[in-house]
A and B are shown apart, each in its own frame.
Chain A
Amino acid sequence: SAVISQKPSRDICQRGTSLTIQCQVDSQVTMMFWYRQQPGQSLTLIATANQGSEATYESGFVIDKFPISRPNLTFSTLTVSNMSPEDSSIYLCSVGQGARTEAFFGQGTRLTVV
C-alpha cells in the first residue's frame, strides 16, 4: 500500500493566478497520476508523471496550463495556471506500481476559482 499526502486540501483563488498542488508518497513509486474531478462527475486523467522524463498529457490537457514536476520517486507537483472559474474542481494525485496493480489516491485538493 501507499500513503499519500496531498496539499493543500482546499483553496480559494483569484482568477488569473496559479496554484501548485503537492503530492508526497511514503514510498518510492514508479508511476504518479493527476486527475480532475468536477462536481458530481467521474475522474478524468490529466497526465502521467514519470520520474526523469516529461509528463504525458491526455487529450484536452496541455503542459502550459497544467505543468507537472516529478523530481524524484516520492514527490510530484501539479500547477493549475492562469486559473478561471472553469478550473474549479477537485484535483487528485494517484500512484500505481504498474500493470494490474491497484491505484492509491491522495485526499484531493478542492479548488474554487473566483
Chain B
Amino acid sequence: GQQVMQIPQYQHVQEGEDFTTYCNSSTTLSNIQWYKQRPGGHPVFLIQLVKSGEVKKQKRLTFQFGEAKKNSSLHITATQTTDVGTYFCARQTGANNLFFGTGTRLTVIP
C-alpha cells in the first residue's frame, strides 16, 4: 500500500546514547517530511527533505534523504529526556495528502 515502513518500532536508549530511525518506501518519493509526537500530544513538523542525497541538521538531529529517494533517516546524537516521543516520517502525494509512516517510539532512560 501507500504506507511507509519505519524501523525500529520501539527504541529504548540510555540518556546520552545516539538514536536512529529509518524510513523505507517501495516507491520513489517526491519529498519526505519528519514529525515528532510527544506522549499525549499531536504531531509537530520537524523538517522536509526534497533533493536526492539531501542532508539537513537541526542541532543534535540529522536528517538524510537517500540517493534513490526511497529511504530516509533521522539520527539524534546524545539523546536527552526531552527527545522522548514517537518520530514519524510522512510521504506527500501529488494530491498533497500526507501519509504517515509506522513510527518509531523513543524512550530515553535518565
| B partners with A | yes
- When C-beta atoms are compared, the residue in chain A nearest to B103 turns out to be A42
19 contacts between A and B (CB under 8 A): A31-B96, A33-B98, A42-B3, A42-B100, A43-B88, A48-B97, A56-B95, A58-B97, A92-B43, A100-B31, A100-B92, A102-B33, A103-B35, A103-B43, A103-B45, A103-B90, A104-B45, A105-B44, A107-B42
Q: What is the distance, in angstroms, from A6's C-beta to the closest C-beta of chain B?
A: 9
Known: A45-B98, A94-B98. A99 touches B92 (CB 8 A): yes
Interface majority SS (helix, strand, loop, mixed), chain A: strand
Assembly CA distance A48 to B99 (angstroms): 12
The answer to whether B43 and A43 touch across the interface, beta carbons within 8 angstroms, is yes
Interface size on A, residues (CB 8 A): 24
Binding site for A on B (CB under 8 A): 3, 30-31, 33, 35, 41-45, 48, 50, 88, 90, 92, 95-103
Q: Contacts A48-B95, A108-B42: A102 and B48 contacting too (C-beta < 8 A)?
A: yes
Q: For A35, what are the chain B residues with a Cβ–Cβ distance below 8 Å?
A: 100
B-side contacts of A48, CB under 8 Å: 95, 97
